[in-house]
Chain A
Amino acid sequence: MGMRVTNEQADMAAEDAVKKLSDRFGSADVKATVEHHANAHKMAFVRAHVPAQHWTAVAKFLRFDAAVNYCSMVTGTHFPEGGADRGWEVVYHLMRQPVTDQAPNTNTVHVAESLRGDDIPLEFEVILTLPQTETPTVPSVQGIWVGADWNEKETWDLVGIRFEGHENMHRVLNPHDSPEGFHPLQKQHKIRYHDFNEMYDDAQGFGRKPTDEGRVK
């Protein structure tokens, strides 16, 4: 029979992590809460709002004191109409995984139900909110999790978030000679040819013009 981490275990681990974070960084305006997913098994996870200037300190704490060993995903979002305080958002999804190097001819057999403390797999969602600005900047955590390296490259490439201290930043998905300042997931760039009327009036597309013609693409 398949095993799984139970909801109680995830709740316990999440409350533990939130308590640790609040004790250490509560005075630094870090707001951590236990949240639950609405899908599948309604598992608990930790959501933390972190001010960008404290992000490096919080990241080091998570990595070395809370056993969060896996940086899985970095998402940048552009909010041109989000008000003066919320122009950009950077969301880090971090995971805790019970993984150690193996001696030859051995393997770890985790029994999910009996995992305790920092061995319980747990998900962290760290949200950095940035004010309305032309140059959104957050400190890089490339040196803390190697896995953050290409995630941050991608976020800069597509969304235009700058990662201070990131070494060897370059385009990864866009062409390497894309114009400077072009980041397609920013909201001022619209998808071309998505207007249905235009498609039916001119099925062959001879008369179409890009909606952002004449501007930097």
Chain B
Amino acid sequence: MTHGLWTLRVKVDGETVVDTEAELGYIHRGVEKIAESRDFTQITPYCDRLCYVSAMTWANSYIYAAEDLLEVEVPERAEYIRLIAAECQRLASHLMWLGAYGPDIGSLTLMTWCMRDREMFLDLLQELGGSRMHYNYPRVGGVKRDIPVGFADRLVAKVKLFEHRIDEYEMLLDESTIWLVRLQGVGYAKAEDMVNAGVSGPNIRAAGVNYDVRWAHPYSVYDQVDWEPAVEKPTSVKGADCYDRYRVRMEEMRQSCRMILDAIEKIPGGKNTNYANGDEMILAKAPTRAPEGATGFSHYECTRGASQFYIQGGGDGRGKNPYRLSIRSPMFITIPYVAKTMIGYKVADIPAIMGSFDPCIGETDR
């Protein structure tokens, strides 16, 4: 959750919210326009910066669309590495969410704990991409470089440690009266309403629906590793409340850990091998130009919901650039819906409801 980058206009009657309206666009950077004058490799760093909390998933999401457009076969080892990187990013992103949501509710301890654990995963991602937040790691046809020797051991040690840390968080939060009082019974949202309004990802899974892009519109090698979608049982006919959305993200972190531990063992080519940059095990040859009329589309389970890219080929430089690149941000659609779910609750519930949907304004404004 990011604060201070958007405005929520609220009409109140005493302490009760009567009407709301979201105002966005404060950090609109025009990535879609910029992409029209960049080639397919140059666009990846811009996609990293779409969401600065979850750069790896956004870059991957773009890369799958570019691969659809350019018709590239990706080596399986690269798909495994992408899966591991994306799930590490999901852990880091959910920790950032929990760390920011804690102070919203009144638990400052949470902020420091989550930042401590997030650092473990940022270190791991730094080993892959070279920097802490914006990795520029995936390439059309594979990944930039192979996992370093020893990475697998560090990954497994950290993930196993973190699995215990999740239990610690739950002991801290699920027995905290403040946490329960502020989250339970607040911000109800029904599954069908959410789908009709375009909400996706953990937010609908919190309402009891086992629906996940990773199995429904499959990409990568999620069918080969051990996991199941995190789904929460709602406790009321009114749908999922803030507490359900918190629970589903905790469960999703567990599933990510499970996936990583399984994938690192199954990785083709061995977990302690390091192939040279550009080796055909990790990077397939890809064309650089797309003909006019070709299109590419990707559907990706980002940390906040389904992100999508749609690319039309045949731009400047005889098809070297995209003619049009369109981005679907899950949060851009979710925020107007969440603004309306607040109607009827108290002013003090606004941060609890908004934060539980995990908004990230970087991707919202693009």
Contact = CB atoms under 8 A, between A and B. Distances in A.
Interface of A: 1-5, 37-41, 43, 45, 69-73, 75, 77, 91, 93, 95, 97-110, 112, 121, 123, 125, 145-151, 154, 158, 171-175, 184-185, 189, 191, 194
Interface of B: 24-25, 28, 30, 32-34, 36-37, 64-65, 67-72, 74, 190-192, 195-198, 200, 204, 207-211, 214-220, 222-228, 231-237, 239, 259, 296-299, 306, 308, 310, 312, 323-324, 326, 328, 332-333, 336-337, 365-366
Contact of B196 (A1, A69, A154): A69
Given A102-B207, A105-B235, A77 B306 contact: no
A37 B68 contact: yes
Nearest to A79: B323
Contacts of B36: 191
Given A39-B67, A40-B218, A99-B191, A77 B308 contact: no
B257 to A, nearest CB: 14
A110 B332 contact: no
Contact of B28 (A75, A112, A173, A194): A173
Contact of A172 (B25, B30, B65): B25
A5 B209 contact: no
Nearest to B228: A2
A168 B211 CA distance: 32
A110 B223 CA distance: 15
Instruction: Return the 10 tightest CB-CB contacts between A and B, nearest first.
Output: A147-B198, A102-B208, A121-B216, A107-B208, A40-B219, A39-B68, A75-B326, A73-B328, A4-B218, A38-B71
A126 to B, nearest CB: 12
A53 to B, nearest CB: 24
Contacts of B326: 73, 75, 91
Contact of B197 (A40, A103, A146, A172): A146
Contacts, number: 190
8 contacts: A38-B67, A38-B69, A40-B67, A70-B195, A93-B297, A150-B332, A150-B333, A172-B24
B233 A105 contact: yes
Nearest to B64: A39
A107 B323 CA distance: 43
Given A5-B217, A147-B333, A97 B211 contact: yes
Contacts of A95: 299
A98 B212 CA distance: 10
Given A1-B226, A77-B324, A107 B37 contact: no
Contacts of A103: 237
A146 B196 contact: yes
B40 to A, nearest CB: 13
Contact of A174 (B25, B34, B297): B25
Nearest to B300: A40
A184 B31 CA distance: 11
Given A73-B308, A154-B332, A173-B28, A2 B198 contact: no
Contacts of A40: 64, 67-68, 74, 218-220
A93 B259 CA distance: 30
B192 A101 contact: yes
A4 B332 contact: no
A159 to B, nearest CB: 9
